[in-house]
């Protein structure tokens, strides 16, 4: 084979791509059948799929047909089908035909957009599409490239976890530039915040091990600290409605400041993973401003809802945040991976993450080094963990152009309608109760406790209900635990096991939600 253009596909590239596209289409159709060929959650046992692959790579070319046959026979039965319309677990991982085609195009173009110069269109499309998206969700203008200040801007990263790590490193750097390298770093979030915040604190060297989420900390929260760095992560107990108790946050930050720890990074969650609780971003901003801390807003799932003006209350207070992220790959029809991280002042992240060896230098200065440079001339390698980056903006661009903002609104509204419908059905059944208020399209519910029943027994019945519902194989729900005493006063609040009905799959329709309900009802004693 002289070059990869003489590819081993056994026909033209277009024929081969059509065969793959046909298989994808057939897969989606299979998932939508009334009796799909596989359970939503894979029933594979550990090693079962592995044992079907030979130990060594083939020495000689095999046919594409053979490989695709293995996808059908070996891979598909070993998957949990995140695109099944009966998938209601975790948060969804959206996909859509436009996003899949854009990802194919991205692979075909195969560009490396680490610097503006390595592919100007890769960077400039990202700049444009992120401004489109900021306007589409009603983010304050200061997060846009185009707001005229030259400070705001955004980047596509893989995940919200990377957004947390990069913004924490920027915040740490800002504090250490001000106070010196031995400044002790304080990080604050709710116990309901995503575990990626604790991981970010570990990777950034603030703490050396994960906090004991269930352990008693100050005010009923959780604490992790590091004797060597002197840093702390404080997870603040929730108050009413499971949003962060900002009085407890205020006390924790003041106490730390008095002890010589610099409050550095506050995370407000807009739409918690367990129950879609929303922290008071404005109150967090007041505290962050008081202590000179960075405020990061994690709206990984819920941010997408803001394409609809009626949900933009979720953004209240965000105009005072330093950064904001959400994942179109969760709920905006965009194939994984796609997290959009918005920054009010992009200089901090560039200052913290820029490393420029000689081989990456190119003639024109970046806007960070030379404010007179054109604002679109951005080296995104300075905004993220890896050096290399593919052209992920293509899939957002395809999705936004092919659905239009109105199409995206209709998509979100339908899921929220289904969430409302499901919550009403659950609330009307006196064997069940909503354990937290419905948030957008997420419903947390559990069996209603019987008079005098102890928590362990109610939780056991909830666990059994989840197992029995999922056992049918046509739907899949996951669980969470929520504190039962959500007034911030309990030292180690008892945890209630809840089933989470997370509606947001790309192919989910009303009949799938009704099917889930009929299985839940059938599994109730």
Ligand X SMILES: Cc1ncc(COP(=O)(O)O)c(C=O)c1O
What residues make contact with ligand X under the rule CB under 6 A? 91, 159-161, 194, 196, 269, 271-273, 298, 300-301, 327, 339
**Residue that the structure tokens 């007179």 belong to:** 372
Instruction: At 44, list the tokens.
Output: 């594979």
Report the nearest approach of ligand X to the CB of residue 327 (Å).
5
Helix or strand run (H / E) with residue 523: helix 510-523
Report the nearest approach of ligand X to the CB of residue 158 (Å).
7
Burial of 133 (0-12, 13-18, 19+ CB in 10 A): buried
Cβ pair 196, 166 in contact under 8 A:
no
In this complex, which beta carbon is closest to ligand X, that of residue 328 or of residue 367? 328
Instruction: At 418, list the tokens.
Output: 């289904």
Report the nearest approach of ligand X to the CB of residue 278 (Å).
11
- Reference 134, options 391, 358, 321, 291; nearest CA is 321
In this complex, which beta carbon is closest to ligand X, that of residue 188 or of residue 301? 301
The CA angle 357-362-368, to the nearest 5 degrees, is 80
- Reference 440, options 268, 303, 296; nearest CA is 303
In this complex, which beta carbon is closest to ligand X, that of residue 197 or of residue 308? 197
Report the nearest approach of ligand X to the CB of residue 164 (Å).
7
- For every residue of 387-437, DSSP letters joined together read S----THHHHHHHHHHHHHHHHHHHHHHHHHHHHHHHHHHHT-TTEEESS-
Radius of gyration over every alpha carbon of the chain, rounded to an integer in angstroms: 24
CA distance 39 to 86: 10
In this complex, which beta carbon is closest to ligand X, that of residue 261 or of residue 278? 278
Instruction: At 107, list the tokens.
Output: 């692979």
Report the nearest approach of ligand X to the CB of residue 117 (Å).
29
In this complex, which beta carbon is closest to ligand X, that of residue 225 or of residue 298? 298
In this complex, which beta carbon is closest to ligand X, that of residue 261 or of residue 501? 501
Report the nearest approach of ligand X to the CB of residue 388 (Å).
19
Report the nearest approach of ligand X to the CB of residue 179 (Å).
29
Distances from the Cα of 379 to the Cα of 10, 86, 125, 144, 159, angstroms: 40, 41, 13, 17, 19
Displacement of CA 26 from its chain's centroid (Å): 28
Report the nearest approach of ligand X to the CB of residue 326 (Å).
9
In this complex, which beta carbon is closest to ligand X, that of residue 425 or of residue 502? 502
In this complex, which beta carbon is closest to ligand X, that of residue 194 or of residue 234? 194
Distances from the Cα of 1 to the Cα of 6, 61, 66, 298, angstroms: 6, 11, 20, 49
Cβ pair 268, 281 in contact under 8 A:
yes
């Amino acid at each position: 084979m002289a070059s990869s253009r003489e590819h081993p596909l056994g026909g033209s590239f277009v024929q081969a791509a059509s065969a793959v596209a046909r298989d994808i289409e057939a897969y989606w159709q299979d998932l939508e059948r009334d009796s799909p060929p596989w359970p939503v959650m894979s029933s594979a046992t550990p090693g079962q799929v592995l044992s079907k692959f030979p130990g060594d790579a083939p020495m000689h070319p095999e046919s594409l047909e053979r490989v695709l046959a293995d996808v059908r026979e070996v891979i598909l039965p070993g998957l949990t089908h995140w695109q099944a319309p009966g998938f209601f677990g975790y948060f969804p991982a959206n996909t859509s035909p436009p996003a899949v085609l854009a990802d194919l195009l991205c692979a075909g173009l195969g560009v490396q957009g680490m610097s503006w110069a390595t592919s100007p269109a890769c960077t400039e499309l990202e700049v444009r599409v992120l401004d489109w998206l900021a306007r589409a969700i009603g983010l304050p203008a200061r997060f846009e490239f185009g707001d005229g200040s030259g400070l705001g801007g955004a980047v596509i990263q893989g995940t919200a976890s990377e957004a947390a790590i990069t913004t924490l490193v920027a915040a740490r750097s800002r504090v250490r530039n001000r106070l010196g390298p031995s400044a002790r770093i304080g990080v604050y979030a709710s116990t309901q915040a995503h575990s990626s915040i604790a991981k970010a604190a570990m990777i950034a060297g603030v703490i050396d091990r994960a906090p004991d989420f269930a352990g008693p900390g100050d005010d009923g929260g959780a604490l992790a600290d590091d004797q060597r760095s002197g840093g702390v992560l404080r997870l603040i107990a929730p108050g009413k409605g499971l949003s962060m108790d900002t009085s407890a946050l205020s006390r924790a930050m003041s106490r730390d400041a008095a002890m010589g720890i610099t409050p550095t990074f506050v995370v407000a969650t807009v739409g918690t993973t367990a129950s879609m609780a929303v922290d008071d971003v404005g109150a967090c901003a007041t505290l962050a401003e008081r202590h000179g801390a960075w405020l990061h807003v994690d709206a990984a799932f819920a941010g997408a809802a803001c394409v609809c003006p009626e949900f933009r209350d979720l953004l209240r207070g965000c105009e005072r945040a330093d950064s904001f992220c959400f994942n179109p790959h969760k709920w905006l029809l965009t194939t994984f991976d796609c997290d959009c991280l918005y920054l009010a002042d992009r200089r901090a992240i560039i200052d913290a993450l820029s490393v420029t060896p000689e081989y990456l230098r190119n003639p024109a200065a970046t806007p960070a080094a030379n404010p007179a440079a054109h604002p679109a001339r951005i080296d995104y390698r300075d905004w993220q963990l890896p050096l290399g980056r593919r052209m992920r903006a293509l899939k957002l661009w395809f999705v936004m152009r092919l659905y239009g903002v109105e199409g995206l609104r209709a998509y979100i509204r339908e899921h929220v309608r289904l969430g409302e419908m499901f919550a009403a059905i659950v609330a009307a059944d006196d064997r069940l109760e909503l354990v937290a208020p419905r948030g957008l399209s997420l419903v947390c519910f559990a069996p209603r406790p019987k008079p005098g029943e102890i928590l362990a027994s109610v939780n056991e019945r909830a666990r059994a209900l989840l197992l029995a519902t999922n056992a049918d194989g046509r739907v899949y729900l996951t669980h969470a635990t929520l504190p039962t005493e959500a007034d911030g006063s309990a030292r180690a609040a008892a945890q209630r096991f809840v089933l989470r009905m997370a509606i947001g799959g790309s192919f989910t329709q009303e009949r799938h939600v009704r099917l889930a309900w009929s299985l839940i009802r059938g599994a109730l004693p």
